[in-house]
Amino acid sequence: MGENIDMIGQGFRCLVKALAPYVARELQRQYADNWWKEGVLDVLWDDQKKDLPESGEWSELVDSLDIQRCLILMDANWNTVFKRKLTIDHRNWIKELIGIRNKWAHAGSQDFDEDYTWRALDTMARLAEHIDDESTEEIRALARQVRYGTAEASTTAAVQQPPIAAMQPDYDNGLPPWRYVIMPHPDVAQGRYKNAEFAADLAQVVHGEGAIEYKEPVEFFARTYITEGLSGLLVQVLKRVSGKGGEPVIQLKTAFGGGKTHSMLALYHLLRGTVSAESLMGVRSVLDKAGLSSVVKTNVAVLVGTALDPTKTRRPPKYSGISINTLWGEMAAQLAEQAGDMSLYEYVKEADKKGVSPGSQALRQLFDACGPCLVLIDELVAYAKKLYGVSDKLPAGTFDNLITFIQELSEAVRASKNSVVVVSIPESNIEIGEGGGRIALEAIEHVFGRVEAVWKPITASEGFEIVRRRLFLKPQDEAGLDKVCRAFSEMYNANPSDFPPECKEITYLERMKACYPIHPEVFDRLYGDWATLEHFQRTRGVLRLMAAVIHDLWMKNDNGLMIMPGSIALDNPSVRDELTKYLGDGWDAVVDKEIDGPNSEPYKIDKENPRFSKYMAARRVARTIMLGSAPSSREQHNRGIEISRIHLGVMQPDEQIAVFNDALAHLQRKLSYLYSDSYDLRFWYDTRPTLKKTAEDRAGQIPTSRAEEEIERRIKAIRERGDFAAVHACPSSSLDVPDEQEARLVVLPISCPYRRNDGQAVDYAMNIIDNRGNAPRIYKNMLAFVAADSDARVALIEDVKHYLAWRSILDDAEMLNLDMGQKREVENSVKRGDSAVNVRLQEAYCWLLIPVQEGTDPITLEIERISGYDESYVARASKKMIQKEALITKWSGIRLRMELDNWFWKGQQHVQIRKVWEAMCTYCYMPRLKNANVLLNAITEGVASDDRYFAYAEGYTDDGRYMGLRYKKPLMYVDINGYLVRPEAAEAQIEAEKAKEEASVSQPPVYEPPQDGGSNVNEGHTSGGVASGNTAIVEPPPRKKKIRRFYGTVALDPMRLGSHAGKIAEEIVQHLNVIPGAKVRIKLDIDVEVDDGIPDNVIRTVSENCNALKFESSSFEE
């Protein structure tokens, strides 16, 4: 037998325990002692009464009634017995259960599906509800077992773990998506909810109707978050009915959808006592606060103004002779019925019949006789509006009678022992209405205002817990939840300037954990912005919206870490309609075109840009702006949502904030209904189009050639050179690039982009390498190129067209009759477009083309990507080439020695420096030095080194002797016309010169004294300064003065300035500079006269170079 068949069987066994004695009692009341024969045996067919006893004890007869006979007897005796006891709904349920019993009895081996099984058990519970509370709860437990997998509340159900492969998806950052941490309630995940189910209806619940989470106490409390206000309300009422204090009259007053009816349902389920308090989640803590161990069973009367018709008289089928007309009659009848004594209705019978209030004394006696009792009055203002202004007397009485009853009711409850009245009072204009509604409200508030305790409504901080409890099961991965929330918190703290300041606080981390899987920003926007709309329902509205959102994301296998504003898919009609219905006309078109959906601009932007499509960046940004700005009005001073909150609504750990900023920039340019303030700090949607449409149209009319001209203008305006001697922007031909001995960067025109397997940029660069105009290029190794990416070029040209379009609108501002606000918008768009073009320009030029050559093979181009955002393409090209040693700014002696060995010293003892430099400038297989100074500095280092690299000579004679030979000695000046000499040759010459010098050394000269016997001849020994013998006294020589300063002036040949200055440095300055403590100062005086005048371009060049070389003073004179 199948599992569901067995569940239905268990349900029937629970039901028959309630029905069999009930049917027997009611038949006995009708037929007295002959009830078994007239009510059972005479009604059933022969096959139905087979094996039934002819007579017996009451208990034996009851036990012989199975579920089939009970149901058939109730149906067959309906008109004579049960019609007066039950409603027509009960007969429909009886007939339905007869059919279910027959299918169950003949089911065979085929099991029932879960929907059919749940419906069968639900119908059983509905039928049993007014007959036996215990059996009803047993059947409901079975229904919950079928529906949620647990006999307790659905939120306590053990989560069905997916397969291991499904539980461990391939996510790079190690953070589990929300769907693997917490599961939606089955009704939400499967889309079984209805919007009406989130609208609690007290009248439906009283009649056993409505959604299961409202009508069943266990399920109701399982999905109810007991807020501070609700807890206080329950405690007050429990104390009152227990005789331990508490307020007698409590007024519930909140905004539309603020939870008034839900609070009354909590009181209804708790105080009726049909289910033990231990089975109700969260109730134990409430009892503890009230100082009670259990709930006092209370008689509850429910008066719902919208469900009562003051023009009709109600005659309860269970009780003949009773006609209910008024609100007080309805209240008394319900209390008397629950107390099991309909005679208590007599307290108000005459007043009910005449439509006048019975007086506080009669009401107090009723309450004490029925006590403890609770009276729930919902939609009282709605009921009063029905009576207001009606001239004809209705069965329910007059408006004044109703106000009098309210006053007497409050006085009677206050004087009673253990009774309490809870009444809901509307606060929003939607519920109050005009005319009678407002007058009724004022009158009711005036009456209740003296004695009521105003209940505290839910706070925004409690709203998320309500939503989470209603829509989700318990988390199945607490560690994953904590890990995700901490990753978000770390992201906020690592980028404090990109997010609102409160995000870095520890309290925000706790909020994320409490709200999970919904991000707190969703609730902040709904409760902070959307709740200001008059029609928006703070609880119901949020529940309906989030149920639709969660179901949509669940079905789409959303892998987001949390449900964020950017996750709310407005292309889903159920989600979109939940938001747009609170807004004015025109929003549906804005959503479809500019926010979400396959035909929207954000969708197209994502689709066209791979960076965006990976994250759905444009759509997520658009959704976030919509949620944060749509409720704002045009009259607000600070309208819209801040950019930091846009980041908060879209960013998840390990995502790039620059991607979303770029997506926002695209949206600003593309969308016609997206506005921003003058500083681009706040953004909002409106139903009025912006000037973007005009700009879009104008951009479409601008030719590509005009955009290319603007791009080349910007490139030529860039003065940065990096480590290159010069940068040549967009040459129109090879003639525009000089053929000189310095490293130069050539920026190829935007019309020659680079694409793999496309030779346009390569061909253009190779033409410049090979030629300069009509002549062949000599110094080919002095060039490098940057080119734009072909795909990025397309985006750049589009950005430029939009910039030019906005600039044209600004130029035509007067003709277009723009107001101040529109003019500011245009000015901001021009600034924004200018900045975007500059950034896009730097991004577009991301290909570096470097000439290379292997030996004598043809020259080719090595292609390198130089992407980046924080540096210009010139700086990136310079850095990349230096990194690859494709451009050398500093060289060493050993590297030069290696090149000399490879290319220049084969069979040679020396090579001229100029020849080396020209070869390096010419051949692409040789090192590419920035300029000649790099080579000369390497020579200076190598000559001064103690290693045997090379020597330097100014020249050589015909006999092979090197002039000005320097080897392993400091070298003050290197002439490019000098020579690099092999160490062996230098050492040989130095040794030869040394040997020759040693051979020429003679003996020192012998001293000869003067012939005249002068006193300077030392002929004997002296002692103590006294002459001995014939020795003359010698006077000590005078002390020599120290020479402390040298200065010199020399005229230099301007045609041989470098050589002459180097000679002076080597022969003069070097000897003085090596003296310890020497302070050498050299100044160069330049005096130039040009009879025909100095050209302007020379003046500009010389002035710039003087500044660069830090001249102390310089000037031009006439």
DSSP calls for 1006-1017: PP---TT--TT-
Separation between Cα atoms, residue 1001 and residue 1018, nearest integer Å: 29
Q: Closest Cα to residue 366, out of 412, 327, 411?
A: 412
The pTM (predicted TM-score) of the whole model is 0.53
pLDDT at 1023: 39
* Alpha-carbon torsion (283, 284, 289, 290), positive or negative: positive
What integer pLDDT is reported at residue 141 of this predicted model? 85
Kindly state the tokens that stand for 660. Answer: 């979303």
Query: Pick from 1050, 1060, 1065: which is nearest to 940 by CA?
Result: 1065
Which token pair is 584?
């004015």
Share of the chain above pLDDT 90, in %: 31
Please, which contacts does 137-140 make with residues 24 or more away whose CB atoms are closer than 8 Å? 137/218, 137/274, 137/275, 137/279, 138/14, 139/11, 139/14, 139/15, 140/216, 140/218, 140/219
Asked if 282 and 234 count as a contact pair (C-beta separation under 8 A), the reply is no
Domains recognised in the chain with CATH numbers: 3-151 (no CATH), 215-454 (3.40.50), 463-687 (no CATH), 700-883 (no CATH), 893-999 (no CATH), 1054-1108 (no CATH)
- Given CA atoms 111, 112, 118, 119 in this order, what sign does their dihedral have? negative
246 Cβ partners below 8 Å, 6+ apart?
235, 236, 237, 238, 239, 240, 420
Q: What pLDDT, in 10s, does the model give residues 447-503?
A: 766 444 545 556 656 777 778 888 888 898 999 999 999 999 999 999 999 999 999
Helix-helix angle 704-717:820-844, to 10 degrees: 70
Beta bridge partners, 727, equal 745
- Give the Cα separation of 195 and 537 in Å (integer): 13
- Amino acid 171: pLDDT: 54
Note the pLDDT of residue 431: 54
Q: How far apart are CA 344 and CA 301, in angstroms?
A: 14
> Cα-Cα-Cα-Cα dihedral of 819, 825, 827, 830, to 10°?
-140
Q: Residue 685: phi, psi to the nearest 5?
A: -100, 150
Q: In what order do the strands lie in the sheet with 951-953?
A: 910-912, 979-981, 951-953
pLDDT over 70, % of the chain? 89
Residue-wise pLDDT tens digits, 127-180: 888 788 788 888 888 888 887 776 665 555 544 444 433 444 455 568 999 999
Tens-digit pLDDT profile for residues 733-751: 999 999 999 999 999 999 9
Q: What gap in Å lies between CA 296 and CA 317, rounded to an integer?
A: 29
pLDDT digits (tens, 9 = 90+) for 1016-1033: 434 444 334 433 344 344
- pLDDT, residue 600, reads 93
Return the closest-CA partner of residue 234 out of 262, 274, 201.
262
- Quickly list DSSP for 154-180: GGGSPP-PPPHHHHS---TTSPPPGGG
Residue at token pair 């049917």: 23
Beta-strand relationship, 373-378 and 962-963: unpaired
Long-range contacts of the stretch 327-333 (C-beta < 8 A, 24+): 327/303, 327/383, 327/396, 327/402, 327/405, 328/352, 328/357, 328/358, 328/363, 328/405, 328/409, 330/301, 330/303, 331/301, 331/303, 331/375, 332/301, 332/366
β-strand partners of 929: 888
Q: How far is CA 288 from CA 153, 269, 548, 669, in A?
A: 22, 18, 37, 61
Is omega for the bond preceding 983 within 30 degrees of 0, making it cis? no
- Low-confidence residues of the chain: pLDDT under 50: 158-169, 196, 256-257, 450-452, 454, 1002-1003, 1007, 1013-1034
| pLDDT recorded at residue 993 | 85
Check residue 451 and give its pLDDT: 44
- Tens-place pLDDT, residues 916-926: 999 999 999 99
Q: Helix, strand, coil shares of the chain as percentages rounded to 5?
A: 55, 10, 40
In Å, how far from its chain's centre is CA 137?
45
> Does residue 675 contact residue 690 with C-beta atoms inside 8 Å?
yes
Give the pLDDT confidence score for residue 1035 in this predicted structure: 54
pLDDT of residue 315: 82
Cβ-proximal residues to 72 (8 Å cutoff; 6+ apart), any chain? 43, 44, 48, 98
